[in-house]
Structure formats: structure tokens, C-alpha cells
A and B are shown apart, each in its own frame.
Chain A
Amino acid sequence: MSEDILISVRGLRSAFGPHVVHENLDLDVRRGEILGIVGGSGTGKTVLLNSILGLKQPDGGEILLDGMRLSEMNSAQRRKVDSRWGVLFQNGALFTSLNVLENVMAPLREHVDMPISLMEEIAAMKIGLSGLEPGACSRFPSELSGGMRKRAALARALALDPDILFLDEPTAGLDPIGAAAFDSLILELSRALGLTVVMITHDLDSLYEICDRVAVLADKKVEAVAPIRELLNHPHPWIHEYFQGPRGRAALAGKEN
């Protein structure tokens, strides 16, 4: 197994006042893998993501990208890093004043030097790639349904062909057909581009289908990181309940048939 670590989180501590979310949390993300993050509500999955992205200052510990400490980067390095990762936020976080095409073009305009017409074509291509109809380009986020908003947000996250893609509950709110198409798209992009994907998800089908490894957050730290099949018989009660509960078994059965 390759030990090519892209992101490593060391001894992360996150707290909101007296409420401690993470205590001494360690996590490694390998290059090119699809890592799923699961955990009960309130275990700080999104907080972990925000800490890695630098949106939340860690209260302790360090986050390293390619062995470089994020906290010690200067603004030029930071900008470079920002153009290397794409983020799909839980609610899409599209810019409401821009239409879908302009939303997807926003990172291109910011980071890349190319003719506007090519930007438009590439943005339209990404929109198609994420499974939206071409007619959606000129619509505003407020005119889109939840699932469409999610796809538009994915198109924006993919706009710069990032090396690392962070997805916060990408398939929540999608219909099963859309969710399956979404999974296959992520898988295909990851394989073709060597994309590293970190996804928070509760979709057991996604976990079985595309995740190389699954990290389980419990008790303020990463309780286990392993391919999903090795987690099935994990002794931790929450993990056991998660994978051996009725839904977990149904998803496993679905995968095996």
C-alpha cells in the first residue's frame, strides 16, 4: 500500500468555547484516494473539513499539505493551494448574484488567464459534466432546485480541475439515480485525473461504491480509518451499529447482489 500522504492532520483540537469537538485528532489522506468521512451528527465532520480548508483556525495541532504546514504558508503559497482544491459546500454556497455559468466561471476568472469565450465554453462543459442541462446556465441559484444547486456547486468546485476535491454531503438531497450518476462521475474523475477526494457522506451506497477508505469520527477523534469491509466488524459500538444496522446491511446486500 502506498504511503504517499497528501494531507495530514496532526493533533487537531477544535473547540467552541467550552465545547470541545476534536481532541488530538489525527488523519492522513493519501494521494489519489477517495476518502469517506462518516460520523454521527455533531461529531464535527464539517468542522474538520473547515479546519483543513483553513476556514476555521485550529485551536491546536497542525495541518500539513504535501508536508508543508498550512499555518506557515505565505499568501502566495496559500493562493496556489486555493487553486489546487475545489470545495462543494453542504448547501452549495453558490453566489446568489451570479447565474450558474458565471458562478462556474468565477474561479477561472480569478486564477486563470484565457479568453472569456473559452472560459464560457469550459464552464459550460463543467456544467454538463456535473449533470446539469445546458439550459441551466443562465439561471440564478434561487431558481434552481436543491439537487440542481448541488450539481452547479460541483461544477464550480471542478472548474479549476483541482487535485483535491472536498465534498460535504454531495449526494444528500439527490434522487437515487442522480446520486449514482454523481458517484460514477466522482469515481471516473478520480481515476482519470488522479484526483484526491475527501467526502463527508451518510450515503452508505456511496461509501461502498466509490470510497477507498472510510474514516469514522467518534469520541472527538478519528476512531478508525480503513477500507469499508474492514470496518464491518469493528468493535466500536457506534461503528458496529452504523454498518451492521438495518440500513448498513441493506446497502451491503445491495452491493453484493
Chain B
Amino acid sequence: MRGHSIQTAEPAGLVVREEGRKTVLEAHGDWLVETIGPQDAPLKRIARSADAENVILDLSHLGRIDTAGAYILGRILRPCHDPDADFHFAGDHPVARRLIHEVRVRSTISEQPKAPVSGFMSAMARIGAGLEAAYLEAVATFAFFGRTVTTAISTAAQPWRFRLTPTVWAMEEVGVNALPIVAVLSFFIGAVVAFMGANLLGQLGFNVFTVELVGIAVLREFGVLITAIMLAGRSDSAFTASIGAMKMQQEVDAMRVLGLDPYEALVLPRVVACVLMAPLLTFGAMISGIFGGMLVAWSAQDISPALFITRFHSELPWSHFWVGMSKAPVFGLVVAVIGCRQGMEVKGDVNSLGRRVTASVVQSIFAVIVLEALFAMMYLELGI
């Protein structure tokens, strides 16, 4: 018996004797999980060479034993006709025989089938599976988008079904709370653009064009892009995590059973909040980016804020501002739809939550940049 204080175990030992046709295995010392490691290989060798029917386990010198020890000792008898027969055992031990019996009866060991792996084929198979998965993801995202749009339309027809409180909560979460970080990032981007302008344009003597550079870059591209990327990193992952956690706890199932449409209650408020708040955030980002550019222009190139603003007014058409603004709701929509869809895809386990949050951020940033390129081409063709 074991279990007396923190006792150190005797190493397991094995003495093999040949008695006529019989092979006698004498177990010495303690056969415990921490001691049996070295006995694995010798026992396997004996199992290969000796006939299991002629093996006798001598337990008289055995110390303590646990289930792992009982397993490894009893393993050699497993192929026998009657592994519990008395002639297989010699010597007395208070628990060993019973334990060997229990372990054998209660557990059947089967060889683990190992899947054959071929390098080239499996690489091709993975590429194929990846492409198929990407295609199916795209299809499913569009399907989700369609479902969201129909929910939006049916809610527009029955405006009393629209959930104002969650929408306002999401607007605060997505918009108001994100404003500081978006503004700070945009400030630095504006400053960096002004610095680059100062360097390049200063060499050519066109310092004053820094104003146009900052204006066009921030209004057309960076204001909205920074906003979209922050939405993707901040709000989109939060959507996936919160909806995903609700999926894991079966809250979404409970809503369905209670007759609540999760698209109406969970998805639509978030999408609406993102679509509404993205332009406002973009506006904040533009102001802050221009402010950053203005400060750098002032300090590095002696373009006074008064001159900066005057030139800004006279040289930059409103179209740049509208181009930037027009993209904001689209980005907001895409980010919200991807975040919500990934959240709804979460299954019961924690792993899938982590995978889905990652996928959600990656996909939404990907989508934002692809759309940004499409918008650029479109406005170029339109000549705006």
C-alpha cells in the first residue's frame, strides 16, 4: 500500500529467470508511474521473445504498485488465453493481482491508427482546402450581408421593432469611446505626412504645397483609413467576442427559442451603429490629422496656422472631403458585418472563439484595404 507521507519510491527492478519452459519475471522495488520508465523496453523485449502462456509473474519481492505499474506488468499477459489463471502468478502481494486484473478488465488498448502523410500530396491538399475555405467564407459573408440587409428592410417597414437602446449603446462603444485613439493616431499620421512634405518639397522650394499634401492625404485617404482600421481592430473584434461568447453560452439559441431574431437584436444595432459612427469618427480623424499637419508645418517650415488655413480654404476643393466621407459608411458597414458574422460562427469551444476573433480582424482589414483600392480606381475614372 502506498500513501505514507511524501515517501521516496524505490526504483523498479526486474529479474528474469528461465525455469524449464517457463519464464519467471521477478518484480522488485516499487512499480509506480514515476519508476517504471526504464522497465518498458526490457518488458517489451521479453514479450516478443517469450510465449505469453509460459510467463509467470513473481510478485513476492514487489513493493508498492499503482495502476501504471499494474498495466506494464500485466501487459505481457494480455495475449494469454486466461490472463488471470493462478499458474501465471507466484508470490503474495496484497493488491497487485487484483489491480492487474482490474486494469486489464477495465481498459482495452487499441493501436492508434496513424494517418499516412505524404509531403507533396498533403501540401497540395492543404492549398486546395485553403482555397475552398476562402471561397466558402466569401460566399457565407455575402449571404450574411444579404440576411442583414433583409432584416434592415423589414425593420424599416416596422420601425417599432428597431432596438434603440442597444444601438445607442453600440454607438457609444464604437464611436465615442473610440474617438480619442482614432484622433491621436490620425494626428500622428498628419504630422508624419507634413514632415515628409517638408523634407521633399523644401528641397524643391515648394514649402507651401505641404498644405495641399496634408489636406489631400488626410481628407481623401488617411482619415477614413485610420478610422476603418481602428474600427476593425477595436470594435470588430469586440463584436465577434461578445456575440461569440453569447453563442458559446447558448444565449443566442435561447433568444431563438424565445422568438427573438438574433439578427434583429444583436446584428442590426451594431451594424447601424457602425454605419452611423464611422463618418463621425472619420470627421474627427480628419480634423485631428489636419491639426497635426498644421503644427508640423508651423514648427518645421514656418507656415503659420493663419497661412495654413487660408491656403487650405483657397486651394483645396470640397470634393476631397466628400470623397473621404463617402467611404466611411461603407467601411463601417463592412467591418460591422464581418465582425457580427464571425461572432455568429463561434461554436461551443474556446478555441473557435479565438480563431473567429482573429479571422474577423484579418478579414475586415483585408476588406477595407481592397475596398479602398476599388474606391481609388472608381474616383480616378470619375475624375473626382
Contacts and interface: CB of A to CB of B under 8 A. Distances in A.
B103 A118 contact: no
B373 interface: no
SS class, residues of chain B in contact with chain A: loop
A128 B98 contact: no
Contacts of A158: 67
Contacts of B109: 121, 124-125, 128, 134
A161 interface: yes
A2 interface: no
Interface string B3-20: 101100000000000000
Given A161-B67, A196-B3, A115 B41 contact: yes
Contacts of B347: 142
Q: Which 9 A-B pairs have the closest CB atoms?
A: A128-B107, A114-B37, A142-B349, A161-B66, A134-B110, A118-B40, A194-B3, A194-B1, A125-B107
A128 B106 contact: yes
B263 interface: no
Interface stretch (A15-23, A185-193, A213-221, A238-246): A185-193
Contact of A114 (B36, B98, B99, B350): B36
Contacts of B314: none
B72 A118 contact: yes
A227 interface: no
A124 B107 contact: yes
A163 B34 CA distance: 13
A234 interface: no
A35 B32 CA distance: 25
Interface in A175-231: 185, 188-189, 192-196
A69 B282 CA distance: 60
Interface stretch (A37-45, A50-58, A105-113, A166-174): A105-113
A108 B72 CA distance: 15
A54 B75 CA distance: 37
A121 B102 contact: no
Nearest to B71: A125
A115 B347 CA distance: 36
A192 B98 contact: yes
Contacts of B158: none
Given A128-B109, A134-B108, A188 B102 contact: yes
Interface string A123-134: 011111101001
B348 interface: yes
Given A122-B68, A125-B103, 6 more contacts: A77-B6, A125-B67, A126-B107, A128-B108, A142-B351, A193-B3
B352 A192 contact: no
B95 interface: yes
Contacts of A101: 112
SS class, residues of chain A in contact with chain B: helix
B93 to A, nearest CB: 11
Q: What's the interface size class on A, roughly?
A: 35 or more
A114 B5 CA distance: 24
B112 A117 contact: no
B359 interface: no
Contacts of A71: none
A127 B107 contact: yes
Interface string A58-90: 000000001000000000010011011000000
B287 interface: no
9 contacts: A96-B351, A115-B41, A124-B109, A126-B67, A129-B107, A142-B347, A158-B67, A161-B33, A193-B95
A193 to B, nearest CB: 6
Nearest to B101: A192
Contacts of A96: 349-351
B99 A192 contact: yes
B74 to A, nearest CB: 10
B147 interface: no
A195 B112 CA distance: 30
Interface string B69-94: 00110010000000000000000000
A145 to B, nearest CB: 11
B2 interface: yes
A142 B348 contact: yes
A34 to B, nearest CB: 14
B71 A112 contact: no
Query: Which of B33, B109, B110 neighbours the largest number of chain A CB atoms within 10 Å of its CB?
Result: B33
Contacts of A134: 108-110
A9 B67 CA distance: 29
B99 A193 contact: yes
A27 B68 CA distance: 31
Query: Which of B32, B41, B68, B98 neighbours the largest number of chain A CB atoms within 10 Å of its CB?
Result: B68
Contacts of B102: 188, 192
Contacts of A124: 107, 109-110, 112
Contacts of B36: 114, 118
A163 B109 CA distance: 25
Contacts of A113: 34, 37
Contact of B67 (A97, A131, A140, A189): A189
